[in-house]
Structure 1
């Protein structure tokens, strides 16, 4: 049965009550491992921004719903959420690897009526003290400021998502923009489990250079620099 606004939320510990939305673009290498973890009763939507590497065929062959979209993460996430039919929503990047018993980990925090949304703790699949320090800084930011980013996943009730206005159709900062609005509806917290992500984005530029660039982009966005201009720099 399709969940609708006004219906009672079922328990988030039941994985059959989850819709999982995954935006992709050229993710044929990363996507299979994530979809292999999502072979239960959850509903899975893969929203493809124009891949030419077979990502769509992989999604369909592994039981996911597949949608074509323009290549804009905000647009892709918004489109997937609009198709979702379950009372709980989980948004993930394709390189994420979920912890075991992920619905139970999320349920431990989402059952609290004061909580609007939850993200996983971040673990980067790579070696070196710089990545371990990065993980600690992300953990501090989430605990002290309630600001997880999209690579940590985002889980929330569908009715909270709808009331917040959901993801905006923007190519950059879509995660931070939504999380800031979610604070009007309750706390944004970390679940007591970690999602593992690829180190590829930090390996390309280096941990410090990548972190500095992202911080500069966020600062410019807060000052009102247009998103399209920032996306070009990104």
Structure 2
């Protein structure tokens, strides 16, 4: 039975223990601040003992899984008990007003939504320009999982859930949810870790991501694109 008073948070994990521990600790602080009990669900594709121990320390349900992000998200959602589902990456950076913003959006009738793209740990001209460009794109296109997608539980299920694929698993889901009602952008509350852009190069990574998206629209299988996405070359 769904509990309408709170949020189930699903975090896919694959060798992200350091980031995960920080996230779970922060979520518990947010829950304490909001005086509510969140349901924390970690779906671990590495099936590691260290991830299990972190989840036990922070009161999170630990679910072992195969390394496919779409399957991880679907599996996590199948264990959710609350009326709002929030899907987070393990390296997400949150502020204390994130949960009130989500609840306000759902209470106003939104089917779901996402957070505006902001880097949490970079403030250079490249990062600021990329934030503007990505936010322009997502208002007309698809926001991806690093922007903290959230949904009404019932609408998530009726819309077919995430695709069981390792990349672009949210694309068709977001399209279907938008067809069912308002899918809103929240201005603040979540930051994206900049380390991958800093590692690969701001424009190199962004250009490669756009090429992968174009290839996906042209029908290249997500499993093939996922191997390219995971490569640093």
What is the rounded CA distance, in whole Å, between the counterparts of 1:108 and 1:233 in structure 2? 38
Q: Deviations over 1:149-182 (max 9, x none)?
A: 1101011110000110101110000122321222
Among candidates 67, 89, 92, match of residue 93 of structure 1: 89
TM-score (norm 2): 0.89
Check the 8 A contact 1:108/1:191 in 2, yes or no: no
Runs of at least 5 residues in structure 1 that lack an aligned partner in the other structure: 4-8, 11-15
Where in structure 1 do 4 or more consecutive aligned residues deviate above 3 Å? none
Check the 8 A contact 1:151/1:197 in 2, yes or no: yes
Matched, 1:211 2:200: no
Report deviation, 1:127.
3.1
Runs of at least 5 residues in structure 2 that lack an aligned partner in the other structure: 32-36
Identify the structure with the greater helix proportion: 2
Among candidates 130, 139, 148, match of residue 143 of structure 2: 148
Change (3 A) 1:146 1:116: farther
Check the 8 A contact 1:28/1:53 in 2, yes or no: no
The alignment yields a C-alpha RMSD, in angstroms, of 1.7
Match of 2:42 in 1: 46
What is the rounded CA distance, in whole Å, between the counterparts of 2:214 and 2:68 in structure 1? 21
Q: Deviations over 1:116-139 (max 9, x none)?
A: 211112221223211111111222
Match of 2:220 in 1: 225
Match of 2:10 in 1: 21
SS at match of 1:87: strand
Report deviation, 1:87.
0.8
Among candidates 16, 19, 42, match of residue 30 of structure 1: 19
What is the rounded CA distance, in whole Å, between the counterparts of 1:51 and 1:30 in structure 2? 16
Matched, 1:72 2:68: yes
TM-score (norm 1): 0.88
Number of aligned pairs?
Answer: 221
Match of 1:188 in 2: 183
Among candidates 87, 97, 102, match of residue 98 of structure 2: 102
What is the rounded CA distance, in whole Å, between the counterparts of 1:56 and 1:130 in structure 2? 37
